[in-house]
Amino acid sequence: MYETTYHRPSSVDEAAALSARDAEAKYLAGGHTLIPVMKQRLASPTAVIDIGRIPALIGVEVSGDMLTIKAATTYFDIMNSADVKKSIPAIAHLTSVLGDPQVRARGTIGGSIANNDPAADFPAAVLALGATVKTNKRSIAANDFFKGLFTTALNDGELITAISFPVPAKAGYSKMRHPASRFALTGVFVAQMKNGDVRVAATGASQNGVMRVPGIETALKANWSASALENVKISPNGLIADIHGSAEYRANLIKVMAQRALG
């Protein structure tokens, strides 16, 4: 790791001001992505701005049909939140299969979606539920937020403050864990919204990062059951192929994980 300067702002405005002063500074939340690449000397930010202890960025709120998880809330706190378990238990389940206890104790929802790792779990929930990503500048719909591998709609210095999830009628998440990293080899989040819409998102599968799965959405909208997916064909085109899984295998996993996500 190269020398860097560490900042611990106490407010979002202070964090944004620090970022605005230094184009080479990086926000630091759980640090699971940034710290390893800094140790490998692949990243050398002039400063790290630790947003993990800003009170306004931590916590869970439920208001009507909306669950809001603030950006620096850890997976562990999300997993154990009574509000999350009650309103969208699929999100609590997702955090319970995310990483290991050490990862859950440090990692944050905001860090996960800002990084947009193609095998991260949370982008699937955000996209499937049609959540809204709130930043210190604006609100961004999930459909517009994820822009491909490690790429999002965020501008330089823009900071996620919270993610608001509409509470669905039904939802579930199922994941095949990567044998080495324990990220999602493929994970599928299924949601039936209260207006009857069905949204399904897969992570770990596509070369372009998290994606909707229209074939499964159509089938589930007609019949919310595992058997409805038996004859759905998922194309392997555009899916990731590596030593841990071929594109055909991942295509199969999208269907199988969707079936299992139905519970």
Partner 1 sequence: MGVEGIGARVTRKEDKRFVTGKGKYVDDVRVHGMTYAHFVRSPHAHAKVKGIDISEAMKKTGVVAVLTGKEIVEDKIGNLICGWMIHSKDGSPMKMGAWPAMAPETVRFVGQAVAVVIGETRNQARDGADAVIVDYEELPAAASIKAAIAPGAPQLHPEAPGNVVYDWAIGDEKATSDAFAKAAHKVSFELTNNRLVPNAMEPRAAIAEYDEAEEHFTLHTTSQNPHVARLVLSAFYGVAQEHKLRVIAPDVGGGFGSKIFIYPEEMVALWASKKVNRPVKWTSDRTEAFLTDAHGRDHVSKAEMAFDANHKMLGLRVKTHANFGAYMSLFSSSVPTYLYATLLSGQYNIPAIYAEVMGVYTNTTPVDAYRGAGRPEASYLLERLIETAARQFKIDPAELRRKNFITSFPHQTPVIMAYDTGDFNASLDAALKEIDYAGFPARKAKAKSEGKLRGIGLSCYIEACGIAPSKAVGSLGAGVGLWESAEVRVNPVGTIEILTGSHSHGQGHETTFAQVVADRLGISINQVSIVHGDTDKVQFGMGTYGSRSGAVGISAIVKAMEKMEAKAKKIAAHHLEASEQDIVIENGEFKVTGTDKAMALANVALSAYTAHNLPDGMEPGLKESAFYDPSNFTFPAGSYICEVEVDAGTGKTTFINFVAADDFGRLINPMIVEGQVHGGIAQGIGQALLEGAVYDDSGQLVTASYMDYAMPRADDLPSFKLQHTTTLCPGNPLGIKGCGEAGAIGSSAAVINAITDAIGNNKLEMPATPDRVWHAIQARA
**Locate tokens 């309103």: which residue?**
87
In sequence order, which residues have a C-beta less than 8 Å from that of residue 238 and are 6 or more positions away? 206, 207, 208, 247
In the bound state with partner 1, the residue whose beta carbon lies nearer, of 23 and 42, is 42
Distance CA 235, CA 32 (A): 32
Nearest distance from C-beta of residue 85 to partner 1, angstroms: 23
Using CB under 8 A as the criterion, which residues of the chain lie in contact with partner 1 when the complex forms? 1, 40-41, 176, 179-181, 185, 243-246, 248-249, 252-253, 256, 259-260
Nearest distance from C-beta of residue 225 to partner 1, angstroms: 16
Backbone angles phi, psi at 251, to 5 degrees: -60, -45
In the bound state with partner 1, the residue whose beta carbon lies nearer, of 11 and 46, is 46
User: Between the CA of residue 217 and those of 21, 123, 226, 228, what are the distances in Å?
Assistant: 45, 17, 12, 10
Nearest distance from C-beta of residue 181 to partner 1, angstroms: 5
In the bound state with partner 1, the residue whose beta carbon lies nearer, of 57 and 94, is 94
In the bound state with partner 1, the residue whose beta carbon lies nearer, of 77 and 117, is 117
In the bound state with partner 1, the residue whose beta carbon lies nearer, of 16 and 220, is 220
What is the amino acid identity at position 236?
P
What is the amino acid identity at position 199?
R
E-only strand ranges, the chain: 5-7, 26-28, 47-50, 60-63, 66-70, 132-135, 139-141, 160-166, 170-177, 184-192, 198-203, 211-212
Nearest distance from C-beta of residue 110 to partner 1, angstroms: 22
In the bound state with partner 1, the residue whose beta carbon lies nearer, of 39 and 194, is 39
At 165, is the secondary structure helix, strand, or coil? strand
At 158, is the secondary structure helix, strand, or coil? coil
Nearest distance from C-beta of residue 76 to partner 1, angstroms: 18
Nearest distance from C-beta of residue 245 to partner 1, angstroms: 4
